[in-house]
Amino acid sequence: MKFKIGVFAAILMAPNAFAQDSAMFRKISDEVMMHGTCYNNLRVLCKNVGHRLAGSKAAEKAVVWGEKAMKETGCDKVWLQPVNVPYWKRGKEQLSLTTSGGKTIKLNALSLGNSEGTGGKPMSAKVLMVSGFEELASLPDEQIKGKIVYFNYRFRQDFVFTFQGYGDAVKYRWASPSVAAKRGAKGVIIRSMSTGEDDFPHTGSMHYNDSFAKIPEMAIGNYSADSLEKWCKKGTVTATMQSECHLYEDLRPSYNVIGEIKGSQYPDRIITVGGHLDSWDVGEGAHDDGAGCVQSIEVLRTMKALGIRPKYTIRAVLFMNEENGLKGGSAYADSAKSKNEHHVLAIETDAGGFAPRGIGFEMGEYQVEKIKAYRKLFLDYGVYDFEKDEGGADISPLHKNLNVPAAGLLPESQRYFDYHHTNADVFENVNHRELKLGAVALAQLIYLVSEHELF
Ligand SMILES: [Zn+2]
């Protein structure tokens, strides 16, 4: 079946049409590479706004920035879509260790997002190191009770596509406090979800099971994790956690920022492309996901600059609160449902501002084949991988609740988890050509789907 459809689509794509598409692909690329404003937009977002956790003052500033940047594309309409978001505050935090030799060492550590702290007071306990959930499950309660459990689970380096390593390890960040609290532990330290040969701790969202105590959770970078492993093997280690972090119950008002070019032939058919405007409260949220925001804006700017009048309506969306609540993605899907909008495709760019390598798809095989028929056009732009099953978090409510086909831009993944959710995720670590090439691939894909009415 798969083969037959592929052949059929290839026949449909006459040589003349291929030449026209190829010429338009080149125009799109030249426009972004020579005149693109996404890199400068990213500079302004990172340097004038900085990191911007949902519910913070900085996130409000980011909304103002996003609305202005969207208007500068010359698109037909820009609006703010109200979203209520949670607010988590980090406050002061500190982690120190006393080794069996009596040496006290301060570690670089970050509390995990949405976790509760120690109420600002120091909390000390002996450290119990385990390799993972299985080892913890094998131990008797009396060995766990009153301890700070150190989950020394490494991000696997054998996966070449690093998102697989992330998918494998992230359960420790997400679930370990409740797993340990159930057995009587007082706190949790995790090895960061990090590919880095460095000492940056990585934050990120976690979740409590309400049946157990909400114990604090902190992440440490790989070098500190190696040291802690070594000291635990040598003898008894005592850790002291001190943190003020807290998740506020009351939701705060915020917005998704939306820009739109109306379709010339099918204004009711909508293609959404987006990234998330919020970031963690460290670094500058440059790769995650300032890059995706400025690339989505760049798609609209490029279409206007080239005088492309898309047949379908094209929307760029800067989603709020992807990191610790997904309220923006949910609000967007709810609105689409209540207005009975016809979304033909949703594309997310939230995997870093690195050179694009492919596009992932969460849709029917016959729909994937429609895009794959044009695969050859993308090869000159370094985009070749159309085999992965990847969409994106913000568009997942559209995909799951409204059955909208979803796609995700897949950039080179080797460096993403060096920077992800750390103080190193800054503008200087984004390359302007790689960032722009991502915007090129998105604009090319959207042009194809709209021009050939693929969905
Ligand atoms: Zn992200």
Give the strand pairing for 356-362 and 406-411. antiparallel
Q: Are residues 120 and 77 in the same domain?
A: no
Q: How far is the CA of 148 from the centre of ligand 1 (A)?
A: 29
- What's the number of domains the chain is made of? 2
Up-side HSE of residue 420: CA atoms within 13 Å toward CB?
22
Q: Are residues 398 and 439 in the same domain?
A: yes
Domain hosting 63: range is: 2-87+249-451
Q: How far is the CA of 327 from the centre of ligand 1 (A)?
A: 14
Q: Are residues 60 and 147 in the same domain?
A: no
Q: Are residues 47 and 97 in the same domain?
A: no
Distances in Å between the Cα of 248 and the Cα atoms of 51, 85, 383, 453 are: 19, 10, 43, 46
The domain that contains 156 carries what CATH number?
3.50.30.30
Q: Are residues 360 and 410 in the same domain?
A: yes
Q: Are residues 10 and 104 in the same domain?
A: no
Q: How far is the CA of 222 from the centre of ligand 1 (A)?
A: 21
Q: How far is the CA of 47 from the centre of ligand 1 (A)?
A: 18
Q: How far is the CA of 104 from the centre of ligand 1 (A)?
A: 36
Q: How far is the CA of 345 from the centre of ligand 1 (A)?
A: 20
Q: How far is the CA of 289 from the centre of ligand 1 (A)?
A: 5
Question: What angle do the packed helices 432-451 and 15-35 form, to 10 degrees?
Answer: 150
Q: How far is the CA of 126 from the centre of ligand 1 (A)?
A: 35
Distance from first CA to last CA of the chain, Å, rounded? 19
The domain boundary, picked from 177, 210, 244, lies at 244
Q: How far is the CA of 349 from the centre of ligand 1 (A)?
A: 9
Q: How far is the CA of 162 from the centre of ligand 1 (A)?
A: 15
Q: How far is the CA of 112 from the centre of ligand 1 (A)?
A: 15
Q: How far is the CA of 69 from the centre of ligand 1 (A)?
A: 20
The domain boundary, picked from 209, 225, 244, lies at 244
Q: Are residues 157 and 175 in the same domain?
A: yes
Q: What six digits make up the tokens of 252?
A: 């705060």
Q: How far is the CA of 27 from the centre of ligand 1 (A)?
A: 29
Q: Are residues 45 and 99 in the same domain?
A: no
Q: How far is the CA of 206 from the centre of ligand 1 (A)?
A: 15
Q: What six digits make up the tokens of 264?
A: 């010339």
Q: Are residues 239 and 282 in the same domain?
A: no
Q: How far is the CA of 73 from the centre of ligand 1 (A)?
A: 23
The domain that contains 321 carries what CATH number?
3.40.630.10
Distances in Å between the Cα of 374 and the Cα atoms of 244, 266, 388, 396 are: 53, 22, 17, 25
Q: How far is the CA of 227 from the centre of ligand 1 (A)?
A: 29
Q: How far is the CA of 299 from the centre of ligand 1 (A)?
A: 19
Q: Are residues 240 and 182 in the same domain?
A: yes
Residue 218, beta-bridge partner list? 111, 189
Q: Are residues 96 and 185 in the same domain?
A: yes
Q: How far is the CA of 304 from the centre of ligand 1 (A)?
A: 27
- Count, in order, helices (H) and strands (E) of the chain: 15, 15
What secondary structure does DSSP assign to 348-415, as a single string? E--S-SSPEEEEEEES-HHHHHHHHTTHHHHGGGT--B-------STTHHHHHHH---EEEEEE--TT
Helix, strand, coil shares, percent, the chain, to 5? 40, 25, 35
Q: How far is the CA of 86 from the centre of ligand 1 (A)?
A: 17
Q: How far is the CA of 2 from the centre of ligand 1 (A)?
A: 33
Q: How far is the CA of 204 from the centre of ligand 1 (A)?
A: 10
The domain boundary, picked from 244, 277, 292, lies at 244
Q: Are residues 146 and 200 in the same domain?
A: yes
Q: How far is the CA of 322 from the centre of ligand 1 (A)?
A: 7
List the chain pLDDT tens, one digit each, 455 residues. Answer: 444 444 455 555 667 888 999 999 999 999 999 999 999 999 999 999 999 999 999 999 999 999 999 999 999 999 999 999 999 999 999 999 999 889 999 999 999 999 999 999 999 999 999 999 999 999 999 999 999 999 999 999 999 999 999 999 999 999 999 999 999 999 999 999 999 999 999 999 999 999 999 999 999 999 999 999 999 999 999 999 999 999 998 999 999 999 999 999 999 999 999 999 999 999 999 999 999 999 999 999 999 999 999 999 999 999 999 999 999 999 999 999 999 999 999 999 999 999 999 999 999 999 999 999 999 999 999 999 999 999 999 999 999 999 999 999 999 999 999 999 999 999 999 999 999 999 999 999 999 999 999 99
